[in-house]
Amino acid sequence: MTAVHDVVVLGLGIHGSAATHELARRGLDVVAVERFAPGHTRGSSHGATRMIRRAYPSPVWNDLVDRAYRGWERWGTAAGAPFLHPTGGLYAHRGEPTMQGGASLPVDREAWRTLAPSLRPPETYGAVHDPDAGVLEAARALAFAQSAAAAAGADLRFGEAVLDRRVDDGVVTVRTD
């Protein structure tokens, strides 16, 4: 069978599922192909939670991270409950603290002991506190992205392996089993 779509997404882990959902909600005709069954544990998108933070070594990440946080807030509103649960985070390494982003700030040893009293870092370590760091409900987010994509009209195909893909004059052809 040959079909024409606006977009073909290969893989329905969190990135593929998020892309499928976001493109379908914008009105594009999207088909997404996943080799394995829903809920498989063969990729990096399985498991209950993941960490999120605003603190990164380079400001090049700041805009992307800001958009990610806004996206998680939007998804939480759409789902009726947040996916992101702020816990705060402390990031330490040898030398002066270099992490930045959001409301992240370097902390002195006294603040460090208050924020994380069980940590006993070497005196040569510095730290940054990121009050916006937290935990994401990864499994629930993956299920939400997939169900929201399907509700927006995306065609999600699980258990379908990609056999070949090619690009000819800007047209992508994907052949599956």
Q: How many residues in total does the chain contain?
A: 177
Q: In the predicted model, what is the mean pLDDT of the chain? A: 95
- Domain positions in the chain are 1-45+139-177
**Mean pLDDT along residues 34-52:** 90
Query: Which fold would CATH assign to domain 1-45+139-177?
Result: FAD/NAD(P)-binding domain (3.50.50)
Helix (H) or strand (E) holding 148: helix 138-151
pLDDT, residue 41, reads 87
The string of pLDDT tens digits covering residues 48-62 is: 999 999 999 999 999
pLDDT in the model for residue 99: 93
Average pLDDT of the residues in 111-115: 91
Q: Phi and psi of 66, rounded to 5°?
A: -60, -45
Percent of the chain with pLDDT over 90: 85
Q: What is the pLDDT of residues 78-96, one digit of tens each?
A: 999 999 999 999 999 899 9
pTM: 0.90
CA distances to 28, 130, 156, 161 from 175, in Å: 20, 45, 15, 9
